[in-house]
Structure 1
Amino acid sequence: MISILALRRPAFPRTGMAVLAASLALLAAPAGAADIHKGASLYATHCAMCHGANGNPVLPGTPNFRRMETLMRPDMQILPAIKNGKGSMPGFFGILRDQEVLDVIAYLRTLS
């Protein structure tokens, strides 16, 4: 005799497929992704006067963003320098949100 429980399909495959579908949707979504177009606009407004329109420095001692070694650090190490300032550069804390700073960093990486 076959038990009625033996006739039921296990719930795992449906649950597993739902989890897989949700995971794929999250991976495909650009949530939190940096926007280089916004970064370019923010750079032109807040940074170009010292760092140059194309990343070649205008002021002495300013990093050259056309050289990749300037940007070899991870975004999360560059972000505090922009927010808090560094050397003669003022901090942008309270002026730019973290996402906006990440947009600028993404744009900087396109300059080389």
Structure 2
Amino acid sequence: MAKADITIRGRQYSVACAPGQEGRLVELSKDLDTRVHQIAEAVGDIGEARLLLVAALALLDELDAATKTSPSELSAQKAAAALSGAARRIEALAKKVEAGQ
């Protein structure tokens, strides 16, 4: 089993992965780190666990929206609308998480 060394919000983690997947995991972790930083800027520092929870929910929301739309139907306009909707839902989730603090 291989491992990838990743950094999220300044904390380093070693994560086990399939051989040859280290680079992909590092790239994905950079995207996650960016998203977590963006959420923290939007809602403040609500703690690592809650920030990662909101980031995970946002990513799952995007994945759900993407899987419900066939590739032939997806246009730039629809993609922009989906991202805008996801952003609104992320902000609403972040507010709820922050209120529950």
Same topology, TM > 0.5 = no
Kindly indicate which of the two structures has a greater share of residues assigned to helix: 2
Kindly indicate which of the two structures has a greater share of residues assigned to strand: 2
TM-score normalized by the length of structure 1: 0.26
TM-score normalized by the length of structure 2: 0.28
Give the number of the structure whose alpha-carbon radius of gyration is greater.
1
Considering Cα pairs closer than 8 Å and 6+ residues apart, tell me whether 1 or 2 has the greater RCO. 1
